[in-house]
Amino acid sequence: MIKVERRPVSDPGIDENAKKLTPEQIEGVIRHVLEKESAGRLRTFVETCIHCGLCSDACHYYLAYKRDPSYSPVAKVRLTLWDMIRRKYRVDAESIKMYARISYAECNICKRCSMYCPFGIDIAYLMTVVRRICGLLGVVPQYLQDQGNSHMYTYSQSWVPQDDWVDTALWLEDELRMDIRNGRIPFDKEGAEVMYSPHSLEAKFKTNLLTNIAKIMNVAGVDWTMPSFDGWDSTNQAMHVGDYETMGMVERMHFEAAMRLKVKKIITSE
């Protein structure tokens, strides 16, 4: 394993969970993800990269860390996927911690590097593959995993259960009427033109944003609605965890809510 200079970070989601890993588990998960779940893109991207470093300047981390080569996009692949493949998937828990740090924290999956690589290699995709491995192994930044768990328990990102959601929207409607005469936040209006799906924080800390949306909808005379039932939250942190099963569930609930309301389109939050 190649050592890179990094400031130590203590995150129980990564440190504590990595302690519980067994070598068989690690090898099994890597094999599953690299050989069963991924196919053409993974192999083609890994086999095509000519190690030319032309993607480096694309990454804001590389630029911000004074052109430290270990932050360049291709270096992130070198430190994770190439490392696993070269060592035939037999890597230790320390390596998994490093993979987790690189794929979760040192890449924003922003795809800027794809626009700078002469081959158009999608390093962001490769990083999501690494996240998938870490996610299945449970080595995930604690706060992020917490939101993944929240999606599983409350079907919203930040532990806002459905009854809280309805309650919040109702008092927001009261507030709305202080600014807009007869302003409405219409729930469950079947056949409406638009379903608005808020960010779950709009039902928690940033409720003024939902009020703003309601004002715009009322002023512009939009035929809109929101579901009072689960599926109202437009966010999906499970995707970032690499927990695609939960991601799929969240996604399906979201679209099913729209289908149930028979709306023409969904508008998400900013």
Partner 1 sequence: MFEFLTSPAVYQFIRGPLVWLSFMIFIGGNLYKFLSMLSLAKKDKVVFPYISLKYSLRSILHWIIPFASTNWRKRPGMTVITFFFHTCLLVTPVFLIAHNALIKESWNFRLWTIPETIADVMTVVVILCALIFLMRRLVVPEVKFVTFGTDYLILSLAVLPFITGFLAYHQLLFAYELMGTLHILAGELMLIAIPFTRLNHMVYFWFTRAYTGSEFGAVRHTRDY
Partner 2 sequence: MYDGSRWLGWKEPPITYLQPTQFFYELIRDGKLKIARKIEGPVTVQDPCSIVRNRGMGEMIRDIVRATCEEFREVTPKLEHNYCCTAGSGVINYGPPWKFIRMEGGKVKMRQLQATGAKIVIAPCHSCHKTIEELIHYYHADMHVMFISELLVQTMDIPEALRVHGEKQEKQKEE
Question: Site residues (CB under 8 A) for partner 2?
Answer: 7, 9-11, 60-61, 63-65, 104-112, 115, 128, 141-144, 147, 177-183, 194, 199, 201, 206, 209, 212-213, 215-216, 218-222, 236-237, 239-241, 244, 247-248, 250-252, 255, 258-259, 263-270
Q: Give min distance, CB of 215 to partner 1, in A.
A: 29
Binding mask 117-136 for ligand SF4 (x = CB under 6 A): x-x-x-xx--x---------
Cα angle vertex 163, ends 167, 257, to 5°? Answer: 105
CA dihedral 230, 154, 201, 157 (to 10 degrees): -110
Task: From 146, 112, 109, select the one nearest 130 (Cα to Cα).
Answer: 109
Residue 119 in the binding site for partner 1 (CB under 8 A): yes
Q: Is 175 exposed, middle or buried (0-12, 13-18, 19+ CB in 10 A)?
A: middle
Show the tokens assigned to 18. Answer: 């990595």
Residue 123 contact among ligand SF4, partner 2, partner 1, none, beta carbon within 5 to 8 Å by kind: ligand SF4
**What string marks each residue from 39 to 58 as x (binds ligand SF4 by CB under 6 A) or -?**
----------xxxxxxx--x
Q: Does 6 engage in binding with partner 1 (CB under 8 A)?
A: no
Structure tokens at 213: 């949306």
Q: How far is CA 60 from CA 45, 136, 228, in A?
A: 22, 28, 40
Q: Rule CB under 8 A: which residues touch partner 1? A: 38-41, 43-45, 47-54, 56-58, 62, 67, 69-70, 72, 74-75, 78, 114-122
